[in-house]
Amino acid sequence: MFRKMRRKKQELTEKQCLDILRRAKTATLALSGDDGYPYSVPMNFVYEDGKIYFHGAKEGHKIDAIKNNPKVSMSIIDQEDVIEEELTTYFRSVILFGKARILQEDDEIYHAIETLGLKYNEDEVTVEKEIRKEWKILCCVEITIEHISGKQAIELVNKNYQDLF
């Protein structure tokens, strides 16, 4: 169902992809938007146990798109060093595909937003205070990952930058 990477030598392992998901702060979420137009939006997220969680408003383009078609894709750029003298970029990135689900149960929502909050701020008291403040207007979404792949520039492969993980 999902395409295999053509440039196998540049392919990241699943472990490397998941390590990137754990440390990355921002991703671009791609959805099927209005009138068949693609809709992509940068966002913060957290990865846990094969799932991606993010939050947003209860209404809007993103939520409407998920309700109309739960199939989504996310891309994460882990490295993007432009090397001017070589006219290239030493990149490392991950793309994933999955199905999004708007969380409905309070315990699921709380788990998602607490996990997300603690990724960006380790102070549990501050995170709990913010959750209570925003609870009534909060919407959380879970993406179940169905396929993940990662790729890096051939220059990183050739220079054995694999040890950075």
6-58 pLDDT tens trace: 766 778 889 999 999 999 999 999 999 999 899 999 999 999 999 999 999 99
Spatial CB neighbours of 151, under 8 Å, sequence gap ≥ 6:
5, 7, 10, 11, 12, 91, 92, 93
Per the model's pLDDT, the better-predicted residue between 163 and 44 turns out to be: 44
pLDDT computed for residue 84 by the predictor: 86
The number of residues in the chain equals 165
Read off the tokens for 9: 């030598």
pLDDT in tens, 70-98: 999 999 998 877 888 888 778 789 999 99
Are 45 and 75 in contact by the 8 Å Cβ rule? The answer is: no
Average pLDDT for 116-122: 95
Exposure b/e, 95-119, CB count within 10 A at least 16 = b? bbbbebeebeeeeebbbbbbbbbeb
Determine the topology of domain 8-153 in CATH. Answer: Pnp Oxidase; Chain A (2.30.110)
Tell me the pLDDT band of 160, cut-offs 50, 70 and 90: low
Sorted by where each begins, the domain ranges of the chain are: 8-153
**Helices H, strands E: what count in the chain?**
5, 7
